[in-house]
Amino acid sequence: MGSVSLKIGDGTARFKSATLCSSAVNILMLFSVLTTNLFALYAFTSSPKDHQTHSIHHPHKNISLISEQVSLILREIDSSQKQLAQMEKELLGYESIDLSRPNIASELKLFLQHHQLPLGKDSRSGITEMVASVGHSCEKSVDLLSQYMSYKVSGPCPDDWSLAQKLILRGCEPLPRRRCFAKTIPKVGLYPFPVSLWKPISDKIVVWSGLGCKNFECLNSKKLSRDCVGCFDLVNGFENQRFVKARGKNDFLINDVLALGSGGIRIGFDIGGGSGSFAARMAEKNVTVITSTLNIDAPFSEFIAARGLFPLYLSLDHRFPFYDNVFDIIHAASGLDVGVQAEKLEFLMFDIDRILRAGGLFWLDNFYCANEEKKKALTRLIERFGYKKLKWVVGERPESAVAGKSEIYLSAVLQKPVRV
Ligand SMILES: *[C@@H]1O[C@H](CO)[C@@H](O)[C@H](O)[C@H]1NC(C)=O
Ligand SMILES: *[C@@H]1O[C@H](CO)[C@@H](O)[C@H](O)[C@H]1NC(C)=O
């Protein structure tokens, strides 16, 4: 019997409950397939013995009977292996979308159709057809995807950005394009740049559909994440002091970090950058920063844009849409935490390393380490990249110490080496 390896899931936390349930079913199936195989194997290995004992009593039992039995068993093993391969495919989500199944929106079929280039093969790129793509994990949520692609062509799109985000969070990224007009909202009262950076944003110029809160006052009373506590409040609270005033030794100041870059910091990328305050402070220093964010529980993208900053709507599971070695600085906080599987963070770290230029700075800002073990694992991972530690502070954040729990935070400024 050939050996079969089975890797389960991608470990993404947000899939956990669904995956656990389907894993249980799959493990049950796996078990039954294995038992069948074991019985077959038993029959197979024990048949010579049977044959011996039988041959004493039935000397006529012939060889063709045995070979028939053997081929039956081999067929069985073969079909079990195919079944296992199919299960592995399903677990990993590597099925491609079956566009022939019922209830697939016609717009989706149309979008995914291949289009031959009118003049045949393009000599520069070597391609012969244009192929539109959607994330391979869309297959797991094909009903939602079809719902997303059901609309009136050239009409108004359904007000369903939260459905789109749900798909993205399930790994259906990129999403297909649509031929409908997204809901618009009059953006009245936007301030000119740079006044816009720290002016409160009116409730009226963002879309609140699909969100629990319907205004900023409500958002300000919530802890949205470790990196966004009252982060929409640009007037009161701490948000307008971040990066210029330290709450503890884990908080580094913009001026200090820029000084480490010895004047060469011009463009940057903020990963999971909350409401964009890092980009705002950097803008004041004439550094252009792109802030990656999704609209989890709050209208982050619209808020950042209203401040006159560049929001990038992209999940952290997606390869960064930037070329190698382009950024002078990359800033990340606890949003970098992508779940339990060590390899997930590794993939992300390598992608960060890829887009940061040699000599550029990676600012890890108050990264929450659940425990000492996690801190050690992260430290080992970082050290493998051979960055120069310009700053490295492990400590507890004051506001978390108040809660009586010991929470470890790591802050660091690391410089990417030149690798040859
Ligand atoms: C051997 O077994 C096969 C299948 O049962 C049978 O058709 C055949 O006649 C047997 N031959 C002898 C020599 O018994
Ligand atoms: C930013 O650029 C403007 C225009 O070139 C300049 O006047 C200003 O001093 C710069 N600010 C900083 C902090 O370098």
Last residue of a domain, one of 63, 92, 121: 92
Ligand number, closest to the Cα atom of 265: 2
Using an 8 Å Cβ cutoff, are 409 and 394 in contact?
yes
Do 29 and 149 fall within a single domain?
Answer: no
Question: 263 CB under 6 A from ligand 2?
Answer: no
Residue ID of nearest Cα to ligand 1 atom 4 = 65
Q: Which atom of ligand 1 is nearest to the CA of 62?
A: 1
| Whether 379 and 329 share a structural domain | yes
- Is 285 touching ligand 2 by the criterion CB < 6 Å? yes
Asked if pLDDT for residue 1 goes beyond 60, the answer is no
Q: Report the pLDDT value the prediction gives residue 130, as an integer from 0 to 100.
A: 84
**pLDDT for res 13:** 35
Has residue 214 been placed in a domain? yes
Whether residue 338 has pLDDT greater than 50: yes
Are the beta carbons of 114 and 107 closer than 8 angstroms?
A: no
Q: Which of 209, 204, 202, 203 is nearest to 182 (CA)?
A: 209
In this predicted structure, the answer to whether residue 311 has a pLDDT above a threshold of 70 is: yes
Tell me the per-residue pLDDT of 193-239, one tens digit each, with 9 for 90 and over: 999 999 999 999 999 999 999 999 999 988 888 888 899 999 998 99
Task: Choose between 178 and 407: higher pLDDT.
Answer: 178
On average, the pLDDT of the chain sits at 85
Residues in contact with 201: Cβ distance below 8 Å, sequence separation at least 6, in sequence order: 216, 232, 302, 303, 306, 307
pLDDT of residue 87: 83
Q: Give pLDDT, residue 6.
A: 36
Indicate which CATH number applies to the domain containing 342.
3.40.50.150
Domain co-membership, 32 together with 135: no
pLDDT for 211 = 94
Q: Are residues 220 and 315 in the same domain?
A: yes
Which residue lies with its CA nearest to atom 2 of ligand 2?
286
Residue 189 lies in a domain: no
For residue 39, name the pLDDT band (cuts at 50, 70, 90).
low
Long-range contacts of 369-372 (CB under 8 A, 24+ apart): 369/408, 369/409, 369/410, 370/408, 371/408, 372/408
- pLDDT score at 125: 86
121 and 207 housed in the same domain? no
CA atoms of 324 and 344, how far apart (whole Å): 20
Please check whether residues 386 and 411 belong to one and the same domain. Answer: yes
Q: Answer whether residue 49 is part of any domain.
A: yes
Closest residue to atom 5 of ligand 2, CA basis = 286
Residue 165 located in a structural domain: yes
pLDDT 10s digits, 353-405: 999 999 999 999 999 888 888 889 899 999 999 999 999 999 876 555 455 66
Regarding whether 375 and 290 lie in a shared domain, the answer is yes
Nearest CA to ligand 1 atom 1: 62
Q: Is residue 3 part of a domain?
A: no
Say what the pLDDT of residue 197 is: 97
Say if CB 394 and CB 410 are below 8 A apart.
yes
pTM, entire model: 0.77
Residue 95 banded pLDDT, cuts 50, 70, 90: low
Domain shared by 209 and 149, yes or no? no
Instruction: Tell me how many domains the chain contains.
Output: 3
Identify which ligand lies nearest to the alpha carbon of 193: 2
Check residue 57 and give its pLDDT. Answer: 55
Residues in Cβ contact with 399 at an 8 Å cutoff, skipping those fewer than 6 apart:
247
Q: Kindly report the protein residue whose alpha carbon is nearest to atom 7 of ligand 2.
A: 286
Q: What is the gyration radius of the CA atoms in the chain, in angstroms?
A: 28
Q: Which residues of 66-97 are buried (b: 16+ CB within 10 A; e: fewer)?
A: eeeeeeebeebbeebeeebeebbeebebeeeb
The encoded tokens of residue 358 equal 């040699």
Q: Which domain holds residue 60?
A: 13-92
Question: Which atom of ligand 1 is least distant from the CA of 60?
Answer: 14
Q: Is the CB of 59 under 6 A from ligand 1?
A: no
Atom of ligand 1 nearest to the CA of 63: 1
What is the rounded average pLDDT of the residues 264-291?
A: 96
Closest protein CA for atom 8 of ligand 2 = 286
Choosing from 59, 92, 125, the residue where a domain stops is 92
More confident residue, 92 or 71: 71
Regarding whether 210 and 66 lie in a shared domain, the answer is: no
pLDDT of residue 305: 97
| Greater model confidence, 263 or 217 | 217
